Amino acid sequence: MSKNVLNAINIITNDQRDLNENEAYEALNDIMIGQADDDEIAELLTCLANKSESISEINGMVKVMQEQCLTVGQVDYPLLDTCGTGGATIKTFNVSTAAAFVASAAGANVAKHGNRAMTSKSGSADFLEALGAKIDLNPHSVSQCIKKTGIGFMFAQSFHPAMKYVAHIRKSLGFRTIFNLLGPLTNPAQANCRILGTGSIEIAEKMANALTNMNIRHGLVVTGNEGIDEISIMGETHIFEIKNNILSSYSIHPSDFGLKIHDIKKVESKSSNENVEIFRNVLSGNGPLEYLDFICINAGAALYVTGHASSIANGIELANTVIEDGDAAAKVAAFIDFTQKSVSE
């Protein structure tokens, strides 16, 4: 039993107010060191989700996540992470993972952080396994992978051992919880360039505010107008941009970059194996245009935040180039080869 968790539940349900940063920190800290029972954890997560998590709650809890995770050191910066929060209305193809490979092929150093599917059909870990990569590398191997190939993957279940206290509860609840926000905000390699996606503009603004307190060099928090947690190829995408700890917001549209408008349902997520087949076809020049554009507009944004592109438009051009030249396919092959050899050693 945890007094801090019970106190947090009481504040939300009886006092009917948000937790302050310290109350949120203490509650999650008790959970992550095993002092709370399953019913308490489930009730707190449900209370937070029902009222919608506040900025102070996110700020307090992300500190615990960062303190409790394993860390990856000895990496070169700027360092990129691309991550959706899940729980979106439409479950799309694994575009943040695909875009990460394309961005890396164009010169970005990437520390991709992800998990198995919780609220989608194919999580980034599922997708990478289907590609043929080994996902359970330790921190040193991830660091070496980034150094040798320009991209590494940090499997959330391995890098957040304290999540063993909540993983089964999240699965049983079956809805988006605050961990869908905390996971993407927490990067074990301290990536200072971020593309985060969420299906809610309200939540996006909260996550953007959290990033302003996390020493981020440059980040974008995006919401596609169909309720997707990626940059859309069908309509408008609202963006919160964080640069030098200054927050601004604006919207973009595929037509701004000369891209065709595509029905978002055409890029809905399939199984991990089907998503991988589509990705490989795109990299070989034989994939559907809607997937190519979906990957390139998201990779373009990634290259913009790392400084490899002067704008999203310039980033889209670079993304198309590295796909056409075969560099993106070579990047995927190098990553898979390194992970397989690293695990077998």
Same domain as 240, residue 100:
yes
Residue of 6, 70, 60, 74 lying closest to 29 (CA atoms) = 60
Alpha-carbon distances, residue 344 vs 75, 112, 144, 240, 341 (angstroms): 23, 21, 15, 42, 5
Specify if 339 maps to a domain.
Answer: no
Q: pLDDT tens across 233-246, in order?
A: 999 999 999 998 89
Closest CA to 202 of 227, 184, 174, 185: 227
Query: What percent of the chain stands above pLDDT 70?
Result: 97
Q: Specify the pairing of strand 237-243 against strand 151-155.
A: unpaired
Q: Of 68, 94, 114, which marks where a domain is finished?
A: 68
Q: What is the pLDDT of residues 97-146, one digit of tens each?
A: 999 999 999 999 999 999 887 656 788 999 999 999 999 999 999 999 99
Residue entry with tokens 């074990």: 188
Q: Which of 47, 68, 89 is the last residue of a domain?
A: 68
Do 15 and 88 belong to one domain?
no
Domain termination residue (choose one: 20, 39, 68): 68
Domain of 12: which CATH number? 1.20.970.10
Is residue 73 one of the residues assigned to a domain? Answer: no
> What integer is the mean pLDDT of 294-309?
98
* 342 within some domain: no
Claim to verify: residue 175 and residue 298 sit in the same structural domain:
yes
Q: How many CB atoms lie within 10 A of CB 96?
A: 27
In a domain, 274, yes or no: yes
In a shared domain, residues 314 and 257: yes
Indicate whether 344 belongs to any domain: no
| 139 and 267 housed in the same domain | yes
Q: Are residues 105 and 15 in the same domain?
A: no
Domain that holds residue 10: 3-68
- 343 within some domain: no
Mean pLDDT calculated for residue range 1-15: 95
Q: Over the stretch 302-331, which tens digit does the pLDDT of each residue have?
A: 999 999 999 999 999 999 999 999 999 999
Query: Do 234 and 182 share a structural domain?
Result: yes
CB burial class (10 A; 0-12, 13-18, 19+) of residue 261?
middle
Sorting pLDDT into bands at 50, 70 and 90, what band is 269? Answer: confident
Return the pLDDT at 92: 83
User: Looking at the 3D structure of the chain, how many domains does it have?
Assistant: 2
Domain with 121 in it: what CATH number? Answer: 3.40.1030.10
